[in-house]
Structure 1
């Protein structure tokens, strides 16, 4: 009811699309403590929704009671970062976040919310920031937020903030399975073993990408996620979900980001829908998605 009422009265409504990593390879450790990565990332149509209303002071509410709505929330941080760049008085907002993307799931939910906030505010103030400006603000908030500002499909480099848009033809369906396990990105990076890029088909494929259209049939053959071994050792349910998706007809399966969400790739909606139904019968929270 909250979201329906908000939709009728809100000045601005912005969707925050989840992302999946179609593979992720760690290619180096940096002096600043971060890691360099290579990853093909893609936004899918699972989304949070943000509703903006004019107010006398900034306020954030959320459909999920357990999520902090204080100044540490990325939505609040995005508002502050955007307003810091304005050359005019800032308008306070009451923002309601309808949370649909699982938390700690490797789907970039919090980052997507921040990206959607930046887009919405830029629209409200009549586009004072160029796309490059928004990406620059986004990079101060998180490594994957510049990509989520842009959306689509992209090759990510550096910490994830360096992106190159990729085109994508054809239709595939993703069934996302969330095992109700929240995984800290910092923990996942701390579990990484030796960084190995030699003889990695995924690495060799991704470094050859340079714009143009992704050969997704080839990409799906070489998918690799360097976080998977440690996550599956600690959380066997992740490996079990991948096996279940294999058994119900997925052409490939992988964990997204640092986990814990696993996805299966399907060529047709009917098979994907049947796979999702099978997971739901077992009590697994799952989503049938397409790219956006």
Structure 2
């Protein structure tokens, strides 16, 4: 993930590659006589702050009397896009219900609602591997067979607010001279094609060499427990590690499931930590 300069309305431009994982929250829809509403288990945020509520409301059209029940499995402030994927699932579900009732929602209306809800929501409407650019509104799917590698997710200690991570990055960059280069875009495109090829051909060595996240250094300096989590995964045999989004979760990649399973077992019950074993989810997987 590369973060460019600040543009309109103080938003940051990004150039990133994103992939779906097998780990997910559970979203259920049921008819109700109470109007449109959202309930979350556990109730981590007020209803009107829940992206699964805000996304359908951003359609700016009358909504069906439906209750959305969200069973959370993905932790907050982890950089895993749990809230954004819930928002995308809520949009898809409401659109399906409205279409069945003769009130179809256009793809453009879906995209606009997603963009109004959050920068990562448009990407979550697109299944499989994708490139995300601009302020998150430009999403390009990539044709790629994702490898069967195992992924261990580890979050220990406090989460990281996205705004805080961007502020740390801006402050760090303000201390050095502008190093922007017109060739950055070309290098990004080359790296993305290299990563797509590595995943498609199961080339773990190339995959590991291309992993990068602009947030890693600044976030690990400000939150030492995240650096410790990364080192812990490395100590448990992870062959590559990556900060997820702006943090606080770290992903450890394993070519073989046995090593990943042993790592998760070793992490079970660790005080103040959450961990999960997952893998890449191919396009077309159940959402």
**C-alpha distance in structure 2 between counterparts of 1:212 and 1:257, whole Å:** 17
1:46 aligns with 2:35: no
Of residues 123, 134, 142, the one that matches 1:158 is 134
> CA, structure 1 residues 230+160, in 2 after alignment: closer, same or farther (shift >3 Å)?
same
Across the aligned residues of Structure 1 and Structure 2, the Cα RMSD in angstroms comes to 2.6
Deviations 1:15-59 (A, max 9, x none): xxxxxxxxx111222142111111111110111111111112222
Cα distance in 2 for partners of 1:211, 1:148 equals 23
Which protein is richer in strand relative to its size? Answer: 1
Q: Deviations over 1:249-280 (max 9, x none)?
A: 21210111110000001111111111111222
**1:137, distance to aligned residue in structure 2 (A):** 2.1
Q: Given that residues 31 and 66 in structure 2 are in contact (C-alpha distance below 8 angstroms), is that contact kept between their aligned partners in structure 1? A: yes
Offset at residue 167 of structure 1 (A)? 2.7
Superimposed CA distance per residue, residues 54-78 of structure 1 (whole angstroms, 9 cap, x where no aligned partner): 1122222211133222x23211111
Gaps in structure 2 of 5+ consecutive residues: 282-287
| Distance of aligned partners of 1:35 and 1:271 in 2 relative to their CA distance in 1, 3 Å threshold | same
1:126 to partner: Cα distance: 2.4
Distance 1:269 1:201 in 2: 36
Match of 1:244 among 228, 232, 238: 232
Query: Among residues 158, 166, 172, which one is paired with 1:189 in the alignment?
Result: 166
Aligned to 1:214: 197
Contact 1:166 1:211 in 2 (8 A): no
Please say if 1:289 is aligned against 2:278: yes
CA 1:133–1:59 in 2, change beyond 3 Å: closer, same or farther?
A: closer
- Find the aligned partners of 2:89 and 2:138 in 1 and give their Cα distance: 19
User: How many pairs align?
Assistant: 264
SS at match of 2:78: coil
| Normalised TM-score (structure 1) | 0.82
Q: Establish whether residue 228 from structure 1 lines up as the match of residue 216 from structure 2.
A: yes
Greater fraction helix:
2
Pair 288,131 (structure 1): closer, same or farther in 2 beyond 3 Å: farther
Q: Aligned residue for 2:119?
A: 143
Where does residue 148 of structure 2 map in the other structure? 171
Does residue 99 of structure 1 match 2:72? yes
Q: Aligned partners of 2:185, 2:246: CA distance in 1, in Å?
A: 17
Contact 2:261/2:277 (8 A) holds in 1? yes
After superposition, what is the alpha-carbon deviation per residue over 1:70-93, rounded to whole angstroms, capped at 9, x for unaligned? x232111112123x24xxx53211
Distance 1:232 1:156, change over 3 A: same
Distance in 2 between residues matched to 1:278 and 1:35, nearest whole Å: 38
Deviates more, 1:158-167 or 1:205-214: 205-214
**In structure 2, C-alpha distance between the alignment counterparts of 1:281 and 1:97, rounded to whole Å:** 25
**Distance 1:188-1:153 versus aligned 2 partners, 3 A rule:** same
Give the TM-score normalised by the residue count of structure 2.
0.83
Tell me what 1:18 maps to.
Answer: none
